[in-house]
Structure 1
């Protein structure tokens, strides 16, 4: 199966390199996506541009792919289900949840000169980054790509309720499946509250398992794809 890999904020397709090399021997075709504005040098990219890039990857996949979204890009994966409900076999969300219709995509940190730069490790102290050593943090921060303001502040638009028919697996890194279920039950994740086929899998990592636990993450994704 084709497995489309979408990194979260500040990441390009190379963030998945170690996951790709672990997925290929497991019989899948991993396709890391470098998003407009996050690797192509365009600071003027918009959320619509990123959605278009994801949909282009879905349209060019062999058969029905599994679409994987990490962190904020969980919303991009969900938008793919919304726009291509009949073409997506499954959605995998790693450490993130889809935004609701009408919400901003990822307006989390201060924008400067038209982009939202990586804010440093302060906001991610604790479980998010506890499994990253100082060298891993340095490498991550030095490679982080400022996200265009037009992406971060883009408004999410969802239109097709068939998205709720697409199976979803939530990969839980810095939080537990029980916590994720509690947030959904509390109404904090209205999109997943309506998902008809929802499951959770745990991974013992921080927020970036593609960095700290790529082989384990690849195995989890391969298992999810096999069930699709």
Structure 2
């Protein structure tokens, strides 16, 4: 199956480099997406909006020949993008896989309070992250991450997602690969009606599988992440 891989903040498609071989070895065709404004540190991010990122994922679906089904994989904020793309193309999406992420609800933004004058949202200092975010990232991996990091377009941080009226997206089979927050915790939040997982709770066909590590499993456990994605897609 064609598998479209969408990275989270500050990363281009090369973030999936250590995961791609696992998917290919299992007979799948991976497509790692670089989103607009993430091409390089020198890219112009002033006009990039959240809709541009969703459009890029939809274009990647459309680029797969014929009417072949695809799987969408979204890491972190990329989860909102793949969910919105499944809303636009529900007939083409065989499964959505969220990597330490989940679907974003109508109007939900990553950080609506990011000041309007921020064009380049830089990768913060490691001290600003929670300890559980960084599990599995030693000093060498962190240095490589920071060296490759590209500022996130500010518009994609502030703006809320907008979904259509196509409720078929709720029927798309879904896998959540839970990393820093165990699946048991996610299920508990869903039972409590917590807004963090409200959209996930609306889905008709979902599973939660655990891959204990930090927020960036493509760096901390890439082979295991690839295996988990393959298992989800093959289901």
Q: Give 5+ residue unaligned stretches, structure 1.
A: none
Q: Which residue of 2 aligns with 1:56?
A: 59
Structure 1 range deviating more: 117-126 or 24-33:
117-126
Output the CA distance in 2 between the equivalents of 1:225 and 1:130.
Answer: 26
How far apart, in 2, do the equivalents of 1:16 and 1:110 lie? 30
Q: Which of 206, 225, 228 is the aligned partner of 2:233?
A: 225
Quote the Cα distance in structure 2 between the aligned partners of 1:115 and 1:86.
35
- Residue 45 of structure 2 corresponds to 43
Aligned match of 2:8: 8
Q: Distance in 2 between matches of 1:120 and 1:85?
A: 38
- Select between 108-117 and 192-201 the one with higher mean Cα deviation: 108-117
Counterparts in 2 of 1:46 and 1:24: CA distance versus 1, 3 Å: same
* 1:9-68: CA deviation from partner (whole Å, max 9, x where unpaired): 001000000101221111111110000011252313111111110000111224111100
> For 1:157 and 1:130, how far apart are their aligned partners in 2?
33
| Structure 2 runs not aligned, ≥5 long | none
Counterparts of 1:134 and 1:71, CA distance in 2: 22
Tell me, what secondary structure is at the counterpart of 2:19?
Answer: helix
Q: 1:167 aligns with which of 152, 173, 190?
A: 173
* Pairing partner for 2:160 from 155, 160, 172: 155
Work out the CA distance in 2 between the residues paired with 1:20 and 1:92: 15
Q: Secondary structure at the match of 1:97?
A: coil
Match of 1:182 among 188, 192, 214: 188
Q: Aligned partners of 1:179, 1:9: CA distance in 2, in Å?
A: 24
Distance 1:144 1:111, change over 3 A: farther
1:100 aligns with 105
TM-score normalised to structure 1 length: 0.94
Which residue number in structure 2 is paired with residue 82 of structure 1?
Answer: 87
